[in-house]
Amino acid sequence: MSFFKKLKEKMSQQTTTVTEKFKEGLSKTRNNFSEKVNELVSRYRKVDEDFFEELEEILIGADVGFETVMELIDELKKEVKRKNIQDPKEVQDVISEKLVAIYQNGEDQSSTINMQAEGLTVILFVGVNGVGKTTTIGKLAHKYKEEGKKVLLAAGDTFRAGAIEQLEVWGERVGVDVIKHTEGSDPAAVMFDAVQAAKSRQADILLCDTAGRLQNKVNLMKELEKVKRVIEREVPGAPHEVLLVLDATTGQNALVQAKTFKETTNVSGIVLTKLDGTAKGGIVLAIRNELHIPVKFVGLGEKMDDLQSFDPEKYVYGLFSNLVEQSEE
């Protein structure tokens, strides 16, 4: 059975709404990537070196990342040789299978959040200004509240003008309290108060916003370390997740940001926002393969429930849904 056919069967057994969100959210990338692959396949009568060179350019153009593209092309060449594939159309199936394999290979592949069975779960959000960090926190607060969890927000970005108010707006919108100090106050002091409030109110989840830009990188990272120390002192083992929020529309720049944060703070997962707004959704694979950090959530639209847990098979379905749906019964 072909990979497309297997994927079609699997998707038919899953929640239609979520599957459709991935399909709709990745439409720009699919139109850019999948259609170019289709066009490439239709032009070639055999799978040769020129075919692979053009495929390489298409993958790099989708921001899959140079290192990842080289690995993928090598794997494809081996598979084509092993299966003695002559027809370029058969390569499409192998490409999608390898994309899932690239994401799932290695350690820490789980996209699930490290929720504590008992007591407080603390999730710290990091990332530069403008990537959608506060919006992500608001949407996750909504998601967890809908699941019946008691959620609190900590307004730890005390440096950016309007950041506290922006988080408060989200808190009001989703019906969740925000623990805050005045603008310019010590973020670590905010976190201390937020943890105490979460404990006294018996909250299940504390979502913590942090500053996205201080005067320089060193200051920012020192501030994050201080915040983490306070949290860990008050809740042993916390923060249970450090989620780096990246804007998918910035492409390779998002990869550079991820490398910088990984060097200086213990990032446990990625939230990739605005995936629906880019034609270069291959950045998901570049981040996973080159940094070995799992993507835990992706933003697939503007609505409250458009922030979805990442699923590599749904992602590949979103990239190739036209071919998956055409696969023979």
Asked if residue 204 and residue 234 are part of one domain, the reply reads: yes
Percent above pLDDT 70 for the chain: 93
Asked if residue 266 and residue 143 are part of one domain, the reply reads: yes
Residue 206 assigned as binding residue: no
Distance between terminal CA atoms of the chain?
10
Asked if residue 303 and residue 323 are part of one domain, the reply reads: no
Token pair of 233 as six digits = 């002192």
Is position 168 within any domain?
Answer: yes
Asked if residue 271 and residue 254 are part of one domain, the reply reads: yes
Asked if residue 194 and residue 261 are part of one domain, the reply reads: yes
Asked if residue 77 and residue 55 are part of one domain, the reply reads: yes
Q: What CATH number is given to the structural domain containing 196?
A: 3.40.50.300
Residue 127 assigned as binding residue: yes
Residue 209 assigned as binding residue: yes
**142, 275, 277, 311 from 28: Cα distances, Å:** 27, 9, 7, 18
| 232-269 tens-digit pLDDT | 999 999 999 999 999 999 888 888 888 888 887 889 99
Asked if residue 136 and residue 266 are part of one domain, the reply reads: yes
Asked if residue 251 and residue 194 are part of one domain, the reply reads: yes
Is position 115 within any domain?
Answer: no
Which has the closest alpha carbon to 87: 30, 2, 6?
2
175 beta partners: none
Please say whether the beta carbons of 153 and 124 come within 8 A: no
Residue 130 assigned as binding residue: yes
Residue 211 assigned as binding residue: yes
Asked if residue 139 and residue 95 are part of one domain, the reply reads: no
Residue 299 assigned as binding residue: no
pLDDT average, residue stretch 172-196: 96
Residue 101 assigned as binding residue: no
Residue 132 assigned as binding residue: yes
Is position 20 within any domain?
Answer: yes
Asked if residue 321 and residue 306 are part of one domain, the reply reads: no
HEC profile for the chain? CCHHHHHHHHHHCCCHHHHHHHHHHCHHHHHHHHHHHHHHHHHCCCCCHHHHHHHHHHHHHCCCCHHHHHHHHHHHHHHHHHHCCCCHHHHHHHHHHHHHHHHHCCCCCCCCCCCCCCCCEEEEEECCCCCCHHHHHHHHHHHHHHCCCCEEEEEECCCCCCHHHHHHHHHHHHCCEEECCCCCCCHHHHHHHHHHHHHHCCCCEEEEEECCCCCCHHHHHHHHHHHHHHHHHHCCCCCCEEEEEEEHHHCHHHHHHHHHHHHHCCCCEEEEECHHHCCCCCHHHHHHHHHCCCEEEEECCCCCCCEEECCHHHHHHHHHHHHHHHCCC
Is position 116 within any domain?
Answer: no
Number of domains in the chain: 2
Is position 152 within any domain?
Answer: yes
Residue 64 assigned as binding residue: no
Quote the domain boundaries for residue 150: 121-311
Is position 114 within any domain?
Answer: no
Residue 133 assigned as binding residue: yes
Instruction: Please tell me the distance from the alpha carbon of residue 146 to that of residue 103, in angstroms, as a whole number.
Output: 29
Q: Reply yes or no on whether the pLDDT at 214 is more than 50.
A: no
Residue 306 assigned as binding residue: no
Residue 278 assigned as binding residue: no
Residues across the chain: 329
Residue 134 assigned as binding residue: yes
Is position 113 within any domain?
Answer: no
Q: Reply yes or no on whether the pLDDT at 164 is more than 90.
A: yes
| 64-83 tens-digit pLDDT | 888 889 989 998 999 899 98
Please say whether the beta carbons of 125 and 311 come within 8 A: no
Is position 29 within any domain?
Answer: yes
Asked if residue 161 and residue 47 are part of one domain, the reply reads: no
Within 8 A by CB and 6+ apart from 166, the residues are: 134
Asked if residue 127 and residue 55 are part of one domain, the reply reads: no
pLDDT average, residue stretch 34-48: 89
Please say whether the beta carbons of 325 and 8 come within 8 A: yes
Percent above pLDDT 90 for the chain: 50
Averaged pLDDT of the chain: 88
